[in-house]
Amino acid sequence: MSGDAREIPLVAAPADGAAACLHCGTALPEGAGGNYCCAGCEAAARVIREAGLFDYYRRRVLDPDAPAPRSQAAPGIDLNRHVRAIGEGRHGIELVVDGLHCAACVWLIETLLRRDPRVRHARLNVSTRRLSIAWDGAPELARELVGRVTLLGYRAVPYTADNAARLEEREERALLRALAVAGFAAGNVMLLSIAVWSGHGGEMGQATRDLLHWVSALIALPALAYAGQPFFRSALQALRAGRTNMDVPVSIGVLLAAAISLSEVARSGPHAYFDSAITLVFFLLLGRYLERRARGRARSAARHLLALSGGIASRIGADGAAEPVDPAELRPGDRLMVAAGERIAADGTVLAGRSSVDASLVTGESLPQPVAPGTRTFAGMVNLSSPIELRVDAAGTGTLLAEIVRLLEAAEQGNARHVALADRVARAYAPVVHVLALLTFAGWLAAGAGPHMAVLIAATVLIITCPCALALAVPAVQVVVSGALYRRGILVKSPTALERLAEVDTVVFDKTGTLTLGRPELIASDGWSREDLELGAALAANSRHPLSRALHRAAPYVAPVTGTVEHPGEGLAWRGQAGTVRLGSRRFCGIGEPGDDEALEIWLARPDRSAPVRFTFVDPVRPDARETLAELSRRGYRIALLSGDREPVARAVASALGIAAWQAGLTPADKCRLLDDLARAGRRTLMAGDGLNDAPALAAGHASISPASAADVTQTAADAIFQGDRLRPVVAILDLAQRAQRLVWQNLALALAYNAIAIPLAVLGHVTPLLAAIAMSGSSLLVIANAMRGGRSAPS
């Protein structure tokens, strides 16, 4: 079908004969012009036709099992080893995209990938240029999806710290070389232009002026051809793929300025604009370089975290000898030798040796943590004392460190309302700017201006109308604030969390593990025997409730029993040989109403005993809990405590912390009902719970936060988690969320104000191409500089 100009539907027409998009089949509004529902479908259809893939894509839509053509494979790259399983029948891959310049590029790539019904997620981070794709189907589908991005004119390779760093370094060197050439040429051409300007109205003859103009052309034109390559190459790739990007109007503007100048020199005209053309390129390059450096400063901790998993690992071979390998080559089951002072390259379990590790990167704990055989370790930790031998449990993109990176970047670049606004503007950018430039050209011609002047003003409009500032307005703030929170031990998981946290007016706390440390300790025997303790610990090993953990810590040598059933908010049940054993609350174990004492307790009911036994614990509150709650109250937040514990226990904690609104004895369903009541009353609640048995309540809140160890990152249902023993991070995240909201609105206002002022001035002819280049770059830098304020010191 390549070269076929006919518009043939890719999908089957609707049964009722209604008009539908020829690419995706979406019903078109009655009376709508054109054959496509959006620019993405039109661009995708054009790419498919020009690449000769129409027949394949039509078969694929009608038959999802149709094989991919060879041209779709990404040559020279083994993608399968970079694909990760993320669920039953679902796979994903992380890519770094070369040639990405603006929000329009992001929108086009995401739109094209999401048109495939098998793709469940496709999001491109404008800051790190990291493309995350998830799909239902075989791992081999990665080759087709990557090939689809390549057909658009971009280059996509598997995302690793080395690949990202090499790409960044290569592009930065190319920009610096182009900047140096443009600067050298601009300085020399400017000196020649000064001589021409000073000769106007003086003694300079036409021959001398023409000579200086030709010398300027000999300097400027080769310099433009070299220094303009970053813009020209990107624009050419876009046009070949049948699309446009921000570099297309920039390139047209630069080439128009050079062409007008050459035309003037050829006919011995008095004016040439070589100085404007080359200085324009110089300032465009300078702006892009400074913007790249500013983005690098704003870039989140994610890139730095990935780099920490690099280096060389010492894998123990079958003969017992250690061999140096790249961490990407490690596989589960491999054995590693980690010397003192080395950073651990993969998640694993200690097999031999005793040492201490610096786990601050992963857990937020500043003190060294002891490790011994059986202890779990994570990539990024540093072995401090003695050599240890590990068994690899997860490596590469499967490590906890890689998961934290994915969560961070998901939070930095999500489809929040503000991002959706920027996407819509970017979608309309290309057609609007070209129509506006054409109308400007026609208007100036109609007003009596010469063709040269009209073309020059139209070129200025092409250059100055760039959505870069708007595209950066939201992601720059998200990147800076997410990184600042991570450095304070707070990991934001949800892409819309900051937006929702800024709207919070009520903070609801769970008690155990949230207001308290969640590390209760078993009190000496309260009528239970060693046999009771071991049976209770065997059941408790299957639960992540803080009291269950404490019970198992009292008998860590006991192996968990299999077949336990956990009843959220109530306890555990296990059917043994003698009958059902229960471990949990009084009510769950059939004792009746709670007692009046304030002790933390769980009960063990055995079928071979007439009376259940009680295990009691002590769980201290967090050291700064009272001060943190008082600070939240001073800031106008309403504070409440919803606990599943008995009334005396909850009353004691509420009294100690000064909480007036509290309820006890609640099930997870009760907590959800109360949170729904608050929402109907117009309250925006932040639910702070332990993230495990409180998952329904966390999901019911307007926003949620959970105290958790790094090992719980992927298990908690919260929007954010915080590390350590202090409760102060709750204040920090609310402060930074409100600051982020203010900065986002400020950036959007700056970007829209720039366009509202700059575009009319350019259309009216009050801006030269040189000033347009400075204004365009300056607006992006201003937005990034404002976003950097989000990383300033905040409560931690």
Q: Mind telling me the catalytic residues?
A: 510
> 161-199 and 206-227 are packed helices; what angle lies between their axes, rounded to 10 degrees?
170
SS3 sequence of 230-262 = HHHHHHHHHHHCCCCCCHHHHHHHHHHHHHHHH
At residue 185, the 3 state secondary structure works out as helix
Angle, CA 517 vertex, CA 369 and CA 656 arms, to 5° = 150
The residue among 703, 674, 675, 704 whose CA lies nearest residue 691 is 704
Which contacts (CB < 8 Å, 24+ apart) does range 572-580 have? 572/539, 572/540, 572/542, 572/543, 572/548, 574/539, 576/607, 578/606, 578/607, 578/608, 579/607, 579/608, 580/607
- CB neighbour list of residue 338: distance below 8 Å, 6 or more residues apart: 314, 344, 383, 387, 388, 389, 390
The Cα–Cα gap between 272 and 577 comes to 97
The β-bridge partners of 688 are 509, 705
d(CA 25, CA 114) in angstroms, rounded, equals: 14
38: nearest Cα among 430, 346, 526: 430
Specify whether the CB–CB gap between 372 and 556 falls below 8 A: no
| Per-residue CA distances from 617 to 332, 602, 625, 649 (Å) | 38, 9, 20, 11
**What are the residue ranges of helices labelled H in 299-398?**
301-308, 360-363
- The number of angstroms, rounded, from the C-alpha of 338 to the middle of its chain's C-alpha atoms is 32
Query: How far apart are the C-alpha atoms of 307 and 408, rounded to whole Å?
Result: 15
Q: Are the beta carbons of 784 and 295 closer than 8 angstroms?
A: yes
Contact 303, 161 (CB under 8 A): yes
Instruction: Extract long-range pairs of 786-789: CB within 8 Å, 24+ residues apart.
Output: 786/743, 786/746, 786/747, 786/750, 787/298, 787/472, 787/473, 787/476, 787/477, 787/479, 787/480, 787/743, 787/747, 788/294, 788/297, 788/298, 788/480, 789/739, 789/743
CA-to-CA distance for 370 and 200, rounded, in angstroms? 81
- The full length of the chain comes to 796
H or E segment and range at residue 549: helix 546-553
Q: In the Cβ-directed half-sphere of 189, how many Cα atoms lie within 13 Å?
A: 30
- CA–CA distance, 108 with 740 (Å, rounded to integer): 27
- Say if CB 128 and CB 476 are below 8 A apart: no
Residues in Cβ contact with 328 at an 8 Å cutoff, skipping those fewer than 6 apart: 160, 395, 396
